[in-house]
């Protein structure tokens, strides 16, 4: 009897020790590394900013997304972020004249603003947020503006997570012209997010050098004459910088369009992380004016390049991977990948 009680106590002590060890381990990593200044949560793919600590002297505000397209009847959600101020007081404002003049939206003082049941009258409305002093109406900072676009019907979606090599083609331009950079593309059967992904290797001459590779999906074709004019395009992908011979490589990714022998690339792109992060690289609500022609026949007088109207020729979508090797860096190569490629075409 006495022996079994002693055994039970020993057993309980060992279980408790294991529990404390597991709890301690979870506490260390769950806190993001104790005093880790990078502010990343063990449980979150995206790092969060620290509240507190030294704050910048100048208050600043920003809102996201920078543009947003939703179907009529849906809700539009904008989020504000503030820095340089401990307890920000937000005031959302709206402009009906393209951002020239703004008026306060009554009651919209939270960090998130939701416009429910969006109507066509809200198309092209512009929003921004002001940071105001806690006691009065002094404007401490104003954010960037964000434009809301409204569509009458669901988006036409193109996506790829399998990357059949037969459906994708690649071609490069060295910019500026250089001798030597090479590229290769294939399909990685595993290691994406999840499973298959498009695997790319860019081999570069000594820095500074850059290589732009256009990847086009043959079956991702939108015909405006059959499906209607394009109001805006949402683009998203996951980009992983897998490995590199040097940290002097910079990889960015851009949405692209091909139309009537001309190639266009978005002015807006996204950098790559050193890991897969689902839905990290998003470029929302691109309009025709957001694309720049890269090659092909010159754009004629009176021609729209690209042409998003209902008279426009079929467009084919893809992405550009732009790799830059910084000045002074030795020749080398970088391996990177794309997964969960998505294009949503919104119509007016």
Partner 1 sequence: MVAVDFNGQRTRSASRWPTSSLVRALCGGLALGVGALVYWTDRDPNKASLIPAVAMLAGLHLFGTLGGWLPSFVHPLAFSLFSAALMATRARSEYGACAFWFALNAAFEIGQHPQVRRPLADALRHGFGEGPVARAFENYFLRGTFDLGDLVAAALGAALAAAVLHSLRVHQENRHAPQR
- Enumerate residues 6+ apart whose C-beta is below 8 A from 5: none
Interface region with partner 1, contact rule CB under 8 A, candidates 5-13, 69-77, 178-186, 219-227: 5-13
How long is the chain?
Answer: 348
For residues 283 and 286, give the distance between their C-alpha atoms in angstroms, rounded to a whole number: 7
Give the residue, chosen from 1, 4, 54, 226, that forms a contact with partner 1 under the rule CB under 8 A: 54
Binding mask 183-212 for partner 1 (x = CB under 8 A): --------x-xx------------------
Nearest-10 Cα torsion for 249, 254, 256, 261: -40
Give the residue, chosen from 52, 107, 135, 136, that forms a contact with partner 1 under the rule CB under 8 A: 52
Question: Cα angle at 42 between 38 and 47, to 5 degrees?
Answer: 40
Residue with smaller CB distance to partner 1, 39 or 119:
39
- Does residue 144 belong to the site contacting partner 1 (CB under 8 A)? no
Size of the site for partner 1 (CB under 8 A): 49
Q: Which residues pair with 344 in a beta bridge?
A: 157, 234
Helix residue ranges per DSSP H, 133-195 = none
Question: Cα angle at 69 between 63 and 71, to 5 degrees?
Answer: 135
- Does residue 17 belong to the site contacting partner 1 (CB under 8 A)? yes
Q: How far is the CB of 289 from partner 1 (least distance, A)?
A: 35
Interface region with partner 1, contact rule CB under 8 A, candidates 40-48, 156-164, 171-179, 203-211: 40-48
Q: How far is the CB of 30 from partner 1 (least distance, A)?
A: 5
Q: Strand, helix or coil at 21?
A: helix
Residue with smaller CB distance to partner 1, 102 or 280:
280
Q: How far is the CB of 245 from partner 1 (least distance, A)?
A: 12
Binding mask 213-252 for partner 1 (x = CB under 8 A): ------------------------------x---------
Q: How far is the CB of 4 from partner 1 (least distance, A)?
A: 12
Residue with smaller CB distance to partner 1, 15 or 299:
15
Interface region with partner 1, contact rule CB under 8 A, candidates 12-20, 72-80, 131-139, 140-148: 12-20
- Taking CB under 8 A as the criterion, which residues in 309-338 touch partner 1? none
Q: How far is the CB of 162 from partner 1 (least distance, A)?
A: 17
The encoded tokens of residue 141 equal 């900072």
Q: Which residues pair with 184 in a beta bridge?
A: 201
- Enumerate residues 6+ apart whose C-beta is below 8 A from 280: 45, 46, 238, 239, 270, 273
Please give the C-alpha separations between residue 288 and each of 72, 155, 207, 220, 346, in angstroms, as whole numbers: 21, 16, 33, 18, 12
- Does residue 298 belong to the site contacting partner 1 (CB under 8 A)? no
Give the residue, chosen from 119, 274, 279, 309, that forms a contact with partner 1 under the rule CB under 8 A: 274
The encoded tokens of residue 327 equal 């000045």
CB atoms within 10 A of CB 270: 19
Residue 245 in contact with residue 311, Cβ under 8 Å?
no
- The two counts, helices (H) then strands (E), for the chain are 2, 22
Closest CA to 89 of 131, 123, 48: 131
- Does residue 156 belong to the site contacting partner 1 (CB under 8 A)? no
Residue with smaller CB distance to partner 1, 54 or 56:
54
Residues that bind partner 1 (CB under 8 A): 2, 6, 9-10, 13, 16-17, 20-21, 23-45, 47-54, 86-87, 191, 193-194, 243, 273-275
């Amino acid at each position: 009897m006495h022996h079994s009680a002693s055994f039970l106590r020993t057993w309980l002590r060992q279980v408790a020790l294991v529990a404390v060890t597991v709890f301690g381990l979870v506490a260390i990593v769950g806190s993001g590394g104790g005093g880790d200044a990078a502010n990343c949560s063990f449980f979150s793919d995206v790092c969060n900013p620290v509240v507190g600590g030294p704050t910048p002297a100048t208050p600043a505000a920003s809102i996201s997304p920078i543009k947003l397209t939703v179907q009529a009847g849906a809700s539009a959600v904008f989020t504000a972020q503030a820095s340089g101020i401990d307890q920000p007081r937000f005031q959302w404002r709206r402009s009906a004249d393209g951002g020239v003049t703004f008026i306060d939206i009554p009651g919209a003082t939270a960090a998130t603003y939701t416009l429910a049941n969006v109507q066509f009258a809200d198309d092209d409305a512009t929003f921004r947020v002001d940071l105001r002093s806690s006691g009065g109406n002094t404007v401490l900072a104003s954010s960037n503006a964000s434009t809301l676009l409204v569509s009458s019907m669901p988006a036409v979606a193109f996506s790829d997570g399998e990357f059949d090599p037969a459906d994708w083609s690649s071609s490069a331009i060295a910019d500026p012209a250089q001798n030597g950079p090479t590229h290769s593309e294939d399909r990685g059967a595993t290691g994406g997010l999840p499973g298959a992904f498009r695997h790319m290797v860019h081999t570069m001459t000594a820095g500074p050098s850059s290589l732009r590779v256009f990847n086009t999906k043959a079956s991702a074709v939108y015909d405006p004459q059959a499906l209607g004019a394009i109001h805006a395009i949402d683009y998203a992908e996951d980009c992983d910088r897998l490995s590199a011979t040097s940290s002097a490589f910079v990889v960015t990714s851009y949405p692209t369009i091909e139309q009537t022998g001309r190639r266009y690339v978005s002015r807006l792109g996204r950098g790559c992380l050193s890991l897969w992060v689902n839905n990290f690289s998003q470029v929302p609500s691109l309009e025709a004016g957001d694309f720049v022609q890269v090659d092909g026949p010159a754009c004629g007088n009176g021609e729209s390049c690209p042409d998003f109207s209902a008279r426009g020729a079929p467009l084919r979508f893809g992405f550009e991977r732009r790799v830059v090797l910084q000045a002074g860096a030795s020749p080398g190569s970088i391996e990177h990948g794309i997964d969960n490629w998505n294009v949503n075409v919104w119509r007016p």
